[in-house]
Amino acid sequence: MTTATEPDRDAAAVDEEKPKSTLQRLVGAQAFQILGVLLILIVLFSIAEPDAFLSINNFRNVVVNVSILAIIGVGMTFVIITGGIDLSVGSVLVFSGVVAAKTMEALGGQGVGVSIVGALAACGSGTLWGLFNGVVVARLKVPPLIVTLGTLGMALGAAQILTGGIDLRGAPTVLTDTIGFGRLFGQIPYLSLIALAVIVIGAVILHRTRFGRYTYAVGSNDEAARRVGVRADRHLILVYTLAGFCAGLAGILNLAFFSSTTIAGQSNTALNVIAGVVIGGTSLFGGIGTIAGTVIGLFIPAVLQNGFVIMGVQPFWQQVVVGAFLIAAVYVDQVRRAAASRGASTRRSLFSRFSRPQGARRKEAQ
Amino acid sequence: MTAALEARGLRREFGHVRALDGADFDIEPGEVVALIGDNGAGKSTLVKALSGSLAIDSGELYSDGKRVTIDSPAAARALGIETVYQDLALAPHLDPVQNMYLGREVMRSGLLGKLGFMDHAEMKEKTQRAFADLGATVRDFTAPVGAMSGGQRQQIAVARAAAWASRVIFLDEPTAALGVVQTRNVLDLIRRVRDRGIAVVLISHSMPHVIEVADRIQVLRLGRRVATYDAKQTSMEELVGAMTGAISQEEAA
């Protein structure tokens, strides 16, 4: 053994690689890079339209627009980290809103009690759809894309059967006046506070608890998780159930905000949420993702839309730009995964991808 | 000395194929036993049977002289038996600490623990100590293991098994696809695990590594043990002879 082969020397060099600092890690995270993109957008729109864009009212509008999507996004982030997908959330939102409206209509009155029962009915219906998705995905091993495509149709169809296809407008006034349009201290919309609470709880569960750890483990290598005794199937069911619950909660909030079950208005909801989650750095292949990234990823389309409207650009441009963002985000994810599977944790950002020729780092290491 | 793990007359058939045809096996505490044999000799089947991943048709298993049944990976773990699979079975997106404790998380005490909060500091400290004790060359405890070299990943997998095993560790081809330096690290790691009194079963195709690190070498052929050698007093030629059937010790007995 006089001459080491090329891969051996490479491997030895990698073995001695120094750990990265916390700062390097933070800067390398896709969520952090996408936050930079969001800030750049905000600065650009602020320069272009300082008065209209940079007002508290406008900022509040954007936040409210993101709130309901963010609640769904929390559940979606869990699902996508497991390597799955949930296309049914928009329909489940509608179905839950319909069940809540029907329940409150049957009970009658405009009181707080009725509203609470309605909210529970919405969350319950969402949870049940999520449980159904989870059981079929985990136990029957049907691919999640197909399962949730199926429940997308089933939940929407069921909602239309219940209503005869006509939107219900029977939300109690106490619900629309507080959660729908009410503001804490006249400034902070309750809708957004609820979303903030869901985001914080979701982030704590994902990043601090064993449930979150298993979510990453199942998405990263479900066989490895099973071998060490993680009940992967049960965990998948719980994750889809959580996503269903979030969609149900979004259903009652949606009803409170629009005073309508918006049956025809949610066909793109799931795709918009998935786009936000993916732009925020959650990998469609599982094992990677953060709640913070999802929230930032959902703000980008909202800010673009808002900014374009204010600037008088045709708002249709928003769809074009968001589409491009989505493709770019998945491209960055692919590059990252390819780098990781080569055993080299070098290229971590979109920028460093273009900053050096491919072999440079390896030559320096030798 | 009683065997840490002993198998007598294990049989297992897949249709008409006799994967195990009355295979025997034994290993004592603090010993490295290499299990060698040609492709299809039954090495993998034997390891799966001993680690609870595969049911046997007949045969007896003893641990510390007591009759045991190992019918699931959980049963093997309860006996202090851990297995490092060839495909490593680490979660690539998790860091070494998270992999070390996957499925065995240390929870916070009191209410927070009941709510599912983990004790990160405790797990990190114990992982670092376990790796330091074994001399594993893993320095970055917060990077995902998927971004590490094959050698480091192998060391993490072995260290994890060593941390949880109290009796026996099975290593399936631990040096396959590793470079020279990395192989050296993994072999050193195996010796240190043995020195703690844990029995290490090494499945490998690499005769030089086997002779170097093993105390005894057991040869499988056609689903049964055909020879056992003292690693200090055998040669590559003798081992290859036993594997191919040119030499046989036990068939006569």
From residue A41, how far is each of A58, A192, A301, A318, B26 by CA, in Å?
15, 22, 10, 12, 68
Q: Give the separation between CA A6 and CA B178, rounded to whole angstroms.
A: 12
For residues B127 and B120, the answer to whether their CB atoms sit within 8 Å is no
CA A274 to chain centre: 6
Give yes or no for a contact between B59 and B108, defined as CB atoms under 8 angstroms apart. Answer: no
Q: pLDDT tens digits, residue range A255-272?
A: 888 888 888 888 888 898
Q: CA-nearest residue of chain B to A224?
A: B89
Min Cα distance B153 → chain A (Å) is: 10
pLDDT at A132: 96
- Residue ranges with strand state E in A128-267: 183-184, 188-189
pLDDT digits (tens, 9 = 90+) for A119-158: 999 999 999 999 999 999 999 999 999 999 999 999 999 9
Q: Among A4, A227, A287, whose Cβ lies nearest the Cβ of B89?
A: A227
Most confident of A165-179, A203-217, B149-163: A203-217
* Tokens matching residue A242: 């959580």
The confidence score (pLDDT) of residue A27 equals 64
Touching check for A208 and chain B: CB below 8 Å? yes
Confidence class for position B249, pLDDT limits 50, 70, 90: low
Q: Which residues of chain B are within 8 Å of residue A17 when distances are taken between CB atoms? A: 139-140
Of A12, A205, A228, the CB nearest to B181: A12
Question: Residue A216 and residue B89: Cβ atoms within 8 Å?
Answer: no
Residues of chain A with Cβ-Cβ distance to B93 below 8 Å are: 216, 219-220, 286-288
Residue-range domains of chain A with CATH:
32-337 (1.10.3470)
Min mean pLDDT across A163-167, A252-256, A269-273, A275-279 is at A163-167
> How many angstroms away from the CA of B238 is the closest CA of chain A?
23
**Pick among A2, A227, A282 to test the B interface (most B CBs inside 10 A):** A227
The answer to whether residue A319 neighbours chain B at the CB level (below 8 Å) is no
pLDDT of residue B94 exceeding 70, the answer is yes
Residues of B in contact with A225 (CB under 8 A): 91, 102-103
Q: Which one, of A131, A98, A357, A148, lies nearest residue A251 by Cα? A: A98
Give me the pLDDT at residue A26, please. Answer: 66
Residue of A nearest to B100 (CA): A228
Q: Do B94 and A17 touch (CB under 8 A)?
A: no
**pLDDT over 70 at A88, yes or no:** yes
Write the pLDDT tens digit of every residue in A304-341: 888 888 888 887 888 888 888 888 888 887 887 776 66
Lookup result for tokens 């965990």: A235
pLDDT above 70: percentage of residues in chain A: 84
What is d(CA B49, CA B81) in angstroms, rounded to the nearest whole number? 12
- B151/A15 CB distance under 8 A: yes
- What's chain B's average pLDDT? 84
What is the rounded distance in angstroms from the CA atom of residue A125 to the CA atom of residue A96? 5
The two most distant CA atoms of chain A are separated, in Å, by 88
Would the pLDDT of B150 be above 70?
yes
Instruction: Confirm or reject contact between B62 and chain A (CB < 8 A).
Output: no
* CB-based contact, A330 to chain B, within 8 Å: no
pLDDT at A7: 41
User: Which H or E run contains A128?
Assistant: helix A112-138
DSSP for A250-307?
Answer: HHHHHHHHHSS--GGG-TTHHHHHHHHHHHTT--TTSS---HHHHHHHHHHHHHHHHH
* Mean local confidence (pLDDT), A40-51: 86
In whole angstroms, what is the distance from residue A232 CA to residue B102 CA?
12
Check whether A70 has a pLDDT greater than 80: yes
Residue with token string 């750095």 = A281
Q: Is A36 exposed, middle or buried (0-12, 13-18, 19+ CB in 10 A)?
A: exposed
- Residue A332 has which token pair? 């960055």
The structural domains of chain B, ordered by start, are 5-91+154-244 (3.40.50.300)
For position A291, what pLDDT does the model report?
93
Flag whether residue B121 sits within 8 Å of chain A, measured between CB atoms: no
ipTM score assigned to the predicted complex = 0.79
Compute the nearest-CA separation of B185 from chain A (Å): 11
pLDDT digit string, tens, across residues B180-202 = 887 888 888 888 888 888 899 98
* Closest Cα in chain B to A208: B117
How does residue A28 score in pLDDT terms, banded at 50, 70 and 90?
A: low
Q: Look at A312 and A184; give whichever has higher pLDDT.
A: A312
Could you read off the pLDDT of A345-365 as tens digits, one per residue? 333 344 433 443 343 344 334
C-beta atoms of A340 and B146 within 8 A: yes
Q: Is A15 on the interface with B (CB under 8 A)?
A: yes
Q: Which residues of A touch B151 (CB under 8 A)?
A: 11, 15
Q: Which amino acid is at A348?
A: R
The pLDDT value given to residue A60: 86
Straight-line distance from the first to the last Cα atom of chain A, in angstroms, rounded to the nearest whole number = 19
C-alpha atoms less than 13 angstroms from C-alpha of A131 in its C-beta half-sphere: 6
Residue B98 sits at the chain A interface (C-beta within 8 Å): yes
Q: What is the pLDDT at residue A230? A: 84
At B34, give phi and psi (nearest 5°): -90, 140
Tell me if B83 sits within 8 A of B47, measured CB to CB: yes
Encode pLDDT of B200-234 as tens digits: 998 888 888 888 888 998 888 888 888 888 888 88
- Cα separation, B1 vs B28, in Å, equals 7
For the cut 90, the answer to whether the pLDDT of residue B102 exceeds it is: no
Alpha-carbon gap: A219 to the closest alpha carbon of chain B (Å)? 9
Contact state of A8 with B180 under an 8 Å Cβ cutoff? yes
Query: Taking 80 as the threshold, does the pLDDT of residue B135 lie above it?
Result: no
